[in-house]
Amino acid sequence: MSTPQEVHPHPEHRAHSTRMLALGALGVVFGDIGTSPLYAMKACFTGLHLVDPTPENVLGICSLILWSLLLMVGLKYAVFMLRVDDQGEGGIFPMLALLHRTPDARPGGRMVLLALFGAALLYGDGAITPVISVLAALEGLEVAAPQSKALVLPLACAVLVGLFAVQSRGSGSIGRLFGPVMLVWFAAIAALGVPPILARPDILAAANPVWGARFFMAHGLHGFLMLGAVVLCVTGAEALHADMGHFGKNPIRLAWFAVALPALVLNYFGQGALLLARPEAAEEPFHNLAPAALTVPLVILATAATIIASQAIISGVYSQTRQAIQLGFMPRLQVVHTSARTQGQIHLPFVTWMMLAACLFLALEFRASENLAEAYGIAVTATLTIAAVLFYRVAVGVWGWPEWRAGLLTTLFLVMDLAFLGSCLTKFLSGGWFPVAVAVAFMGVMITWRDGWRTLARRMLSHRLPIERFVRRVEADNPARVPGTAVFLSTFRKEIPPMLLQHLNTNRMLHEKVVLLSIVTEDVPVVPDSQRLQVSDLGQGIHRVIARTGFMETPDAPALLRLAARQGLPVDVKAAKFYLGRIALVPARHSSMGPLRRALFVFLHRNATNPATYYNIPPEHVLELGVQLRF
């Protein structure tokens, strides 16, 4: 007999659901890559390593763009990378968790560091994407009215401020418009590309990869460096994998192959055809596709599309930050849930304002999209390279592929990825240093936080008392008991939390009911309620509750206790008092961490969000007990 979860929907309902998810994927997954025509072709003919818009160069560039989309996005990500999932979730941290749970594939220290660097690169990319997209969209005003050039930068800053200001309201309401707006966008860019192609059908010759090879042979090293501009057409490719948990593999593939890819190819080839006819249009090839009467409406639509693309990567930064916090790589930050129905819709105020500051800095520093294009690419191509390495480990260690088979496919991926990465590294001094610096900074934070807490855990374990001994002590000493329930949050599974022992030694009393609550983050995205709790009656009115959450979830202590009460734990959650420990760090004569890293950890520790706020505990139900530890 089938369980409810095993009942299969009617094929028509399943197909409708797939189409609706594919529509949503157009907005969230393909927002970034979908707006790349605004600046990718322009960067090839106006950037640092520009080439003249001769027919041979135009055909060569269009050929490179086409085959980059087909191989890097279509083959690598849509076909193969979407097969790598951890309970349906994709991205760097889920891949790392998947490897960690497989004994034969557990990553070593170097692999963990590589994965952390790949994850940290998202923060640099997350600051650049909104700025370059919004600037490129608004620069269309210069085509309609050249005198409006001075307004582009102030308008871009205003749009960025507005974008980040509304994050606290959540993306739910505007998110329902993401898919339809992006569908209109893809239809519009496809339609814009058709007339120039019909006028100059010779552009279709660029479908032959020979034109790309001729471009490299004609330009040599300069042609290789041009890949740093061509790579802009695949920015956002990693979103296919990172957002897999929101939409699923098939809807993402449907959205890519049925809508996004054809529209992008038509638009890029349309820009190429325009340049064959009018080489002087290279300054703004995208906006010159539109008739003069449609320039302003196109700018408005492009601005809406870039806001959607920016929102998608902002949401990705939020999700990854929560994953890092749950996995112990970053300090607790305030997580605000902006939807009562959708758990994934969150807002991190600190991250929001940090990203806004970085975006405004980039806008004011680079001032134009073609300048910012010189800072774009390193983070994306490095992430693509790291993903290829992790793919090999998963294919061999988790799937059991023969090494030659996984190695052959990974080599193909790495040839493309490393070629793009090598060309982008030449941008380092002209702006590429920014995403690298951001990634190094965040990686330093993650490693320092992880190592610092390991050191603190060893300090606390030196004062540990096994739970069984504590229960026997309570039975022997028979301390005074007061009415009510005391909940002690603990990071230990087999030992008493230090604040409980301090509480008993200081006050010589205990509540009638004592709950030891340990919230454990598992190496899975989401833990089902049926496997979430382990409740044990230890005697003497003491209960042990081990609550498991996934790294895609934000723990809620009162909600976990309510679930435990429904499963038989004899507590009144509304009247319970939560005892939290506050650790004061005292300088030690000898520390296992260097002075700079120690100072960074102390700063992060002092400024981490209060546990009561992070675990959603009402302030009136919280009592704090302080303890000093040498560090």
Reply yes or no on domain 17-451 having CATH 3.40.1670.10.
Answer: no
> How many Cα atoms within 13 Å fall on the side-chain side of residue 194?
8
- Which pLDDT band, with edges at 50, 70 and 90, does 339 fall under? low
Residue pair 485/577 in contact by the 8 Å Cβ criterion: yes
Q: 460-490: b or e for each residue (b if 16 or more CB lie within 10 Å)?
A: beeeeeebeebbebbeeeeeeeeeebbbbbb
How far apart CA 373 and CA 424 sit, in angstroms, is 10
pLDDT tens by residue, 164-223: 888 776 655 455 677 888 999 999 999 999 999 999 999 999 999 999 999 999 998 888
Residue span(s) of the chain under CATH 1.20.1740.10 come to 17-451
Q: Give the model's pLDDT for residue 4.
A: 33
Q: Kindly give the pairing relationship between strand 509-521 and strand 577-586.
A: unpaired
Number of CB atoms found within 10 A of residue 151's CB: 14
Q: List the one residue out of 253, 244, 309 whose CA is nearest residue 37.
A: 309
pLDDT in tens, 407-419: 999 999 999 999 9
pLDDT of residue 463: 63
The model's pLDDT over 34-84, given as tens digits with 9 standing for 90+, comes to 999 998 999 888 866 678 999 999 999 999 999 999 999 999 999 999 998
Please state, in angstroms and as integers, the Cα–Cα distance from residue 396 to each residue in 112, 237, 392, 507, following that order.
17, 23, 6, 57
pLDDT value for 9: 45
pLDDT computed for residue 13 by the predictor:
45
Q: Using CA of residue 368, residue 373, residue 378, residue 381, what is the dihedral sign?
A: positive
Cα 497 off chain centre by = 34
DSSP H helices in 278-402? 295-326, 349-366, 369-372, 378-397
Name the pairing type of β-strands 542-549 and 577-586: unpaired
Residue 152 has pLDDT above 60, yes or no: yes
Output the CA angle 248-250-252, nearest 5 degrees: 70
The 3-state DSSP class for residue 564 equals helix
**The residue type at 474:** V
Per-residue pLDDT, 583:
79
pLDDT category at 2 given cuts 50, 70, 90 is very low
**Distance of alpha carbon 247 from its chain centroid, rounded?**
15
Is the CB of residue 375 less than 8 Å from the CB of residue 366?
yes
In this structure, are residues 333 and 351 in contact, taking their beta carbons and an 8 Å threshold?
Answer: yes
d(CA 273, CA 198) in angstroms, rounded, equals 9
Q: What is the mean pLDDT of residues 561-580?
A: 90
Instruction: Indicate the average pLDDT of the chain.
Output: 86
Give the CA dihedral 160, 164, 169, 174, nearest 10 degrees. Answer: 40
Residue, of 372 and 49, whose pLDDT is higher = 372
- Round to whole Å and give the CA distance between 48 and 341: 47
d(CA 297, CA 301): 6
C-alpha distances in Å from residue 419, one per residue of 223, 329, 391, 522:
11, 31, 18, 37
Share of the chain above pLDDT 70, in %: 94
CA 605/CA 456 separation, integer angstroms: 11
